């Protein structure tokens, strides 16, 4: 038995006499036995997403948990503290059933084609959360289970994440018609909405970039590619406070080791290498997306223009960038250029970006905005020598990619990638597009 295993005592209520059991969670399995050695466990439940755990409450307090045994729901009672500990042990590891036993829906926060987001209140703790409700008829519309697999992958990746600048997943529930992902409630607006009515000053922009870069450093260590960074996916935890910005929506996120890399994301934020067929892109695509966000925060205009999504996508694919900036400091322009490098091998890493002179306290000044003038950003920005960024073991972690690809050091450059310029003209097959 593992030292990290979890145990509680519980009992089944019977008309004549209650039966007492021991519950053990070990090796991703729940075992329930009348003997303390668990050699002959009567009830066994593998901790997989297909198996549900149910909860029973009385006066908004946990009194029992339930599991299905031979298609029949069996209830086990226990002390309140034991049940609360069991809840904490199982949350996000499996789907819970009967969400209405724990959460009460208050108001709708938003809606899309496949899901709705509600504000909910935990009946036991009285804390407020956000519930992302995904319809099952949408998830299982395709016979290939692609959408279900993507949902499970999103959950698996969010289980790994614990960072102040990334939204936290709290609970998982499954109902008859929907899946529910319970997340911390972000009470502020998206940066997309907030920046439409509020012009950020240079200090606020520094704050947003600093928070996002640190979050990308963290995702790099976990080998996770977000693939859909945009202003709409940056949300304020507290209203009007950019210091509380958080990254949301891991619906398109993948592990770096994913063998088949598809083009995806939002037109206007997609890295150039994602348009190249079979190009083994990495976490550097998120740096380009963040560079596009940086540009929009500075200029309040989009990096790629167009009258509709198709036109924006075409300009994005052709790398036909706008340049609305003027009179910006060399530090601002240099960091922007390094983040928007067309060649990912030359693009700055988040670890390096945090050491850029742009983040020095002495960098300040007004932000200049010019008339719209589409052209390549790397050619039209003032020609300045790239800022020197030194790698220090005290304040920068060298990222090493682990997985099916050969290991290499991104922050020091790599010869692993095929020449970017040589294959730049090789477009992806249209069937690979899952732009959402």
**Could you give the residue numbers annotated as active site?**
228
Burial bucket for residue 405 (CB in 10 Å: 0-12, 13-18, 19+):
middle
Give per-residue burial for 94-122: e unless 16+ CB within 10 Å, then b: bbbbbbebbbeeeeeeeeeebbebbbbbb
Q: How far is CA 206 from CA 170, 210, 294, 339, in A?
A: 29, 6, 9, 14
Contacts of residue 357, defined as CB under 8 A and 6 or more positions apart, other chains included, come to: 331, 334, 363, 387
Q: Long-range contacts: 9-12, Cβ < 8 Å, 24+?
A: 9/78, 9/79, 9/82, 10/65, 10/76, 10/77, 10/78, 10/82, 11/76, 11/77, 11/78, 12/74, 12/75, 12/76, 12/77
d(CA 212, CA 9): 44
- DSSP E strands in 175-260: the ranges are 178-184, 224-225, 234-236, 245-247, 254-255
Vertex 246 angle, CA 243 and 247, to 5°: 145
Q: Which two tokens stand for residue 135?
A: 């319809």
C-alpha closest to that of 313 among 302, 324, 305: 305
Residues 274, 265: contact at Cβ < 8 Å? Answer: yes
Using CA of residue 429, residue 430, residue 432, residue 433, what is the dihedral sign?
Answer: positive
Torsion of CA 281, 283, 285, 290, to 10 degrees: 180
Strands 52-58 and 95-96 turn out to be parallel
């Amino acid at each position: 038995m593992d030292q990290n295993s979890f145990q509680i005592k519980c009992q089944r209520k019977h008309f004549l006499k209650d039966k007492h059991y021991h519950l053990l969670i070990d090796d991703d399995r729940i075992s329930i036995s009348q003997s303390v050695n668990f050699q002959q466990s009567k009830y066994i439940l593998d901790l997989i997403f297909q198996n549900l755990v149910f909860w029973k409450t009385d006066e908004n307090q946990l009194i029992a948990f339930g599991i299905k045994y031979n298609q029949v729901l069996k209830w086990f009672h226990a002390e309140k503290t034991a049940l609360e500990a069991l809840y904490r042990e199982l949350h996000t590891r499996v789907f819970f059933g009967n969400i209405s036993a724990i959460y009460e829906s208050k108001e709708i926060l938003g809606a899309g084609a496949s899901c709705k987001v509600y504000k909910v209140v935990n009946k036991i703790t009285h804390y407020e959360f956000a519930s992302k409700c995904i319809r099952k008829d949408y998830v299982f519309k395709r016979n290939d289970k692609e959408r279900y697999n993507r949902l499970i992958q999103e959950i698996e990746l969010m289980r790994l994440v614990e960072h102040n600048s990334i939204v936290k997943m709290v609970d998982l529930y499954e109902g008859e018609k929907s899946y529910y992902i319970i997340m911390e409630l972000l009470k502020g607006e998206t940066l997309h909405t907030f920046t439409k009515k509020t012009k950020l000053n240079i200090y606020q922009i520094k704050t947003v970039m600093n928070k996002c870069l640190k979050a990308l450093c963290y995702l790099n260590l976990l080998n996770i590619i977000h693939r859909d960074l945009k202003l709409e996916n940056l949300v304020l935890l507290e209203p009007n406070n950019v210091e509380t910005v958080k990254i949301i929506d891991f619906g398109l996120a993948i592990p770096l080791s994913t063998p088949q890399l598809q083009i995806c994301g939002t037109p206007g934020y997609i890295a150039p290498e994602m348009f190249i067929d079979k190009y083994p892109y990495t976490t550097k695509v998120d740096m380009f997306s963040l560079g596009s966000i940086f540009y929009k925060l500075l200029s309040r205009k989009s990096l790629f223009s167009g009258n509709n999504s198709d036109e924006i996508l075409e300009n994005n694919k052709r790398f036909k960038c706008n340049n609305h900036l003027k009179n910006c400091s060399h530090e601002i322009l240099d960091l922007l250029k390094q983040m928007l490098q067309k060649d990912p091998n030359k693009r700055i890493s988040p670890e390096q970006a945090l050491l850029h002179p742009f983040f020095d306290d002495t960098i300040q000044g007004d932000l200049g905005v010019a008339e719209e003038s589409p052209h390549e950003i790397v050619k039209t920005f003032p020609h300045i020598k790239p800022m020197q960024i030194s790698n220090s073991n005290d304040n920068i972690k060298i990222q090493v990619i682990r997985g099916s690809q050969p290991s290499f050091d991104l922050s020091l450059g790599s010869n692993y990638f095929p020449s970017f310029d040589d294959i730049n003209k090789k477009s992806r097959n249209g069937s690979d597009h899952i732009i959402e």
